[in-house]
Structure 1
Amino acid sequence: MKRVGEVVRTAQGLAVVRSSDADYPDVGSEVVTDDLETAGSVVDVFGPVGRPYVAVSPAEGVRLPTLVGRPLYTR
């Protein structure tokens, strides 16, 4: 697993993840929690090149507020 970053907030039905470094996942990549539960998929990457933000669309049944402050990973 590779760490994507930490969920810093929610906006417009998406989880906004602050990337750990300049190496971010591709759009469409599945992201999981530290419990290996599917959190959603990457829909956009934006912001500064060195540490971009990653927008994650939640999987069905995932409540966004529960993700804030948690790290997310790709498989």
Structure 2
Amino acid sequence: MKFAGEVTAVLGRRLLVLRSDAGQLPPLYSEVADAESRTVGKIVDLYGSVARPYLTVLCNDGVLAGVGDSLYVVPGSKPDLPKKRRQVSGYRGEGDSRYPKTGGSIWKKKSRN
């Protein structure tokens, strides 16, 4: 299995922070497992420096992992991408139009009377 990272912090009941290696950076939303090949959860965030990035793992229910544990990417797990967000109301047009319903440009020149 490919090394994902080492647990550096446990946040609440469902979040783990891993310190990863830039050379072996796993893709987002891929599943991770512990040394006994038990699925722990999915990688949901990537942040930090380019040389030593951090990963956030959203754990499954009932998973126990502590600081110092090594986690690995589950081989053959295809990352499930999150669903697309709905368009916010208050915008006109179809598709991904992002212009507000103001009736014109917000940069119009003011008329001098």
Q: TM-score, normalised by structure 1?
A: 0.86
Is the counterpart of residue 69 in structure 1 residue 104 in structure 2? no
Per-residue CA deviations over 1:2-61 (Å, capped at 9, x if unaligned) read 001100002254100000334311111000000100111000000001110000000121
Identity of aligned residues (%): 40
Q: Distance in 2 between matches of 1:22 and 1:16?
A: 18
As a proportion of its length, which structure holds more strand? 1
Matches within 5 A, 1:1-75: 1-11=1-11, 13-63=14-64, 66-75=65-74
Q: Which runs of no fewer than 5 residues in structure 1 stay unpaired?
A: none
**Number of residue pairs the alignment of both structures matches:** 73
Contact 2:47 2:53 in 1 (8 A): yes
Q: Distance in 1 between matches of 2:23 and 2:56?
A: 15
Structure 1 residue runs of 4 or more that deviate by more than 2 Å after TM superposition: 20-23
Q: Distance in 2 between matches of 1:30 and 1:67?
A: 18
Q: Which runs of no fewer than 5 residues in structure 2 stay unpaired?
A: 75-113
CA-based RMSD of the aligned residues comes to 1.4
Q: Distance in 2 between matches of 1:33 and 1:67?
A: 11
Q: Secondary structure at the match of 1:56?
A: strand
Q: TM-score, normalised by structure 2?
A: 0.59
| Structure 1 range deviating more: 20-29 or 1-10 | 20-29
One-letter code aligned to 1:3:
F
One-letter code aligned to 2:72:
Y
Q: Which has the larger radius of gyration?
A: 2
